[in-house]
């Protein structure tokens, strides 16, 4: 566990695991390094795993500014590699982290071995932007209670909701812990995302993973990524929603391991 400085901001990062090959995990928008807990036993057995909180997340600084730029977040990840002496690595990004990973591949291509993009967007279209604005409006109208209620169908599959209703209260308690003003700034960065014009230049082995019940970063976005990134492969998880690190953790870790070892 460590803290390093990036342009005057403190960034939290940690490296764990027993493997030789490095793997860096890029958080989803309201995640922190601890959010990967369900994947860590299998990943730590095979990799030297780097996790970090981006600007506005977890234990990293959360400065006031209009938006946290995705390109800057990618540069923070490169600085984290430098801090731990990692030259190049496999990269797996989930949701928001998948958008940062696209920027990372664009700006730091030489540092990527393989790239896995999970539950993410090629661009922030109108549906995505309205989802963000609906959460902001819900929080203004009813605080975390309404915000969380509004988010549920965007985040979880029907099967998960039917089988895990008691877990929703625990997840709501976690949602209440985030700095909502920082999340708004993170969402402002998402709303600026549009990689369609340069994805064809990402000459890096890429695998795309999505649940077929993902309503937040839907299948058509993953198909667009697969069509634009040269030789990218697409894997669809039946019955899975958006939060793969919670409801499909085993399938998610299995996909990372299978892709990075081929």
Q: 160-197, pLDDT tens digit by residue?
A: 999 999 999 999 999 999 999 999 999 999 999 999 99
Choices 3.30.70.560, 3.40.50.1820, 2.30.30.90, 3.40.50.720: CATH for 2-260: 3.40.50.1820
Cα torsion for 67, 74, 174, 151, to the nearest 10°? Answer: 60
* Gap between the Cα atoms of 48 and 243, Å rounded: 23
* Gap between the Cα atoms of 109 and 18, Å rounded: 26
pTM exceeding the 0.85 threshold for the entire prediction: yes
How is the chain split into domains, by residue range?
2-260
pLDDT reported for residue 1: 75
Q: Which parts of the chain have pLDDT scores under 70?
A: none
52 in Cβ contact with 12 (< 8 Å): yes
pLDDT reported for residue 262: 76
* Gap between the Cα atoms of 247 and 243, Å rounded: 6
81 in Cβ contact with 12 (< 8 Å): no
Token code pair at residue 8: 């005057």
């Amino acid at each position: 566990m460590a803290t390093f400085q990036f342009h005057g901001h403190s960034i939290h990062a940690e490296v764990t695991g027993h493997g030789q090959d490095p793997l860096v995990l890029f958080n989803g928008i309201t995640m922190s390094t601890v959010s990967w807990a369900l994947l860590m036993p299998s990943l730590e057995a095979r990799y030297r795993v780097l996790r970090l909180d981006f600007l506005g997340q977890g234990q990293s600084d959360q400065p006031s500014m209009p938006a946290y730029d995705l390109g800057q977040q990618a540069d923070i990840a490169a600085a984290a590699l430098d801090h731990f002496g990692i030259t190049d690595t496999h990269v797996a990004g989930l949701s928001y982290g998948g958008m940062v990973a696209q920027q990372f591949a664009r700006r730091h291509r030489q540092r990527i071995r393989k790239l896995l993009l999970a539950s993410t967007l090629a661009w922030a279209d109108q549906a995505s932007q309205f989802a963000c604005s609906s959460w902001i409006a819900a929080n203004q109208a009813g605080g975390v209670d309404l915000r969380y209620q509004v988010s549920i169908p965007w985040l979880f599959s029907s099967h998960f909701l039917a089988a895990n209703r008691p877990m929703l209260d625990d997840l709501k308690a976690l949602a209440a812990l985030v700095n909502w003003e920082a999340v708004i700034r993170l969402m402002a960065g998402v709303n600026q995302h549009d990689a369609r014009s340069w994805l064809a230049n990402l000459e890096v082995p890429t695998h795309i993973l999505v649940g077929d019940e993902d309503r937040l970063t839907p299948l058509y976005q993953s198909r667009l990524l697969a069509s634009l990134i040269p030789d990218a492969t697409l894997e669809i998880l039946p019955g899975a929603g958006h939060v793969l690190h919670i409801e499909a953790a085993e399938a998610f870790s299995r996909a990372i391991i299978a892709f990075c070892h081929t």
